[in-house]
Amino acid sequence: MTQFSADPRPTTASDALPAPRLIALDWGTTSCRAYLLGPDGLVIETRSNGKGILQLSADPATKDAEFAAELTRLCGDWIHEAPHLPLLACGMIGSNQGWAEAGYAPLPSRIMAKGPALTPVETRQGILHIAPGLVKDAGADDHGLPDVIRGEETQLRGILSGKESPASSIIVLPGTHTKWVLLDEDEVLDFTTSMTGELYSLLIHHSILGRHSIPPRHPDEAAFLRGVDVGIGTESQEEGRPGLLTALFSARSLAMTNDLTADAVQDYVSGLLIGSEVAGFTRRWVGRTSTQEPPRPSITICANPSLASRYKRAFLRLGIRVNTAADDTTAKGLWHTAVLSGLLAKEKA
């Protein structure tokens, strides 16, 4: 167990570890990561082996006990050492399938201007405060479809913290469900979800496309970029170009005609899906801001280095250069959420 001082006084250079200020959790669908945070959001310790909400009971009769037990297992020693520390969580823990539903803030939302309304949950370890997500109602979308974000709004605070935001920016958060977020400075104007990561997993593990594929020993750059180019073509307005559902079968037909090796199929499918996604959103969003004659917005990708690199290469095929953000922005976002919401009122955001 990591030992630390529970004394809330400022630390000195002679101290082994700074005094902790916050216990924060990114509690998602399949996993939970816990952070012990010190002054200015400094990460003192991280634990990433927590159970996600799908691994815990949804039965109202046992749900509270299971979530409380997991909180104790993951953070019980931290809480014991410093019982005065605030507890904050973001992510699917606040969904209707989580511990307690934390609700959603509507768009537009100034995510750095004021703190979100946190939902308190009484536990034996103290009060756990759960951050709300963001919701886009049906009327806000061109197609009349609602959308939600839960957890990524905290990442956005981490990305935007410590720097001046461009007047207009797009932040791409790739993952199982990739989020595309349109901002005017720190105001979220719009966002949309793409199920690219989940669709890739389904195609590779549960469809004919992946049945005869084998994982590559090394990423196949040529196969990936070939897929990107085909995917970009599916979003072309040129008459006669195949759509995504038609182009996907090329992963099967190219393998059958020996134009694609078995160990190249997965990278090709990845490129095809990412290429289609990036081309579609670029056509729809680049140049779209709140002003009449907007400049091209700044685009930032926030993901692990491997996945961020794939999206970056897809943008480059379209002649667009993008920025990348550090992968682990959630800890910073949780810190700023705590400060802005008043849990750490005496700290600086």
pLDDT(179) > 80: yes
CATH code assigned to 196-325: 3.30.420.310
pLDDT tens profile 101-129: 999 999 999 999 888 899 999 998 899 99
The pLDDT assigned to 340 comes to 94
Mean pLDDT across the stretch 37-47?
95
Mean pLDDT across the stretch 69-83?
95
Helix axes of 265-285 and 305-317: crossing angle, nearest 10 degrees: 60
pLDDT(294) > 70: no
Which comes out higher in pLDDT, residue 3 or 37?
A: 37
3-state percent helix, strand, coil for the chain, nearest multiple of 5: 35, 20, 40
Q: Characterize 18-51 residue by residue with b for buried, 16 or more Cβ atoms within 10 angstroms of its Cβ, and e for exposed.
A: bbbbbbbbbbbbebbbbbbbbbebbebeebeebb
Q: Can you list the alpha helix ranges (DSSP code H) found in the chain? A: 63-81, 152-160, 196-206, 208-211, 221-234, 244-247, 250-256, 265-285, 305-317, 330-341
Mean pLDDT across the stretch 244-258?
95
Single out the residue of 136, 76, 69, 145 nearest to residue 109, CA to CA.
Answer: 136
Average pLDDT, the chain: 88
The pLDDT assigned to 292 comes to 43
pLDDT(99) > 90: yes
For the chain, the structural domain boundaries read 196-325
Whole-model pTM: value is 0.86
Per-residue tokens: 301: 């990708």
At residue 145 the predicted structure's pLDDT band, cuts being 50, 70 and 90, is confident
At residue 76 the predicted structure's pLDDT band, cuts being 50, 70 and 90, is very high
Beta bridge partners of 45: 36
The set of long-range contacts for 34-40, using a CB threshold of 8 Å and a minimum separation of 24, is 34/74, 34/75, 34/78, 35/330, 35/331, 35/334, 36/2, 36/4, 36/78, 37/331, 37/334, 37/335, 38/11, 39/10, 39/11, 39/347, 40/335, 40/347, 40/348
pLDDT(302) > 60: yes
Residues 271/226, Cβ–Cβ less than 8 Å: yes
Tell me how far apart the alpha carbons of residues 149 and 147 are, in angstroms, rounded to a whole number: 7
Tell me how far apart the alpha carbons of residues 336 and 106 are, in angstroms, rounded to a whole number: 19
- Among 138-142, 237-241, 292-296, the range scoring the smallest mean pLDDT is 292-296
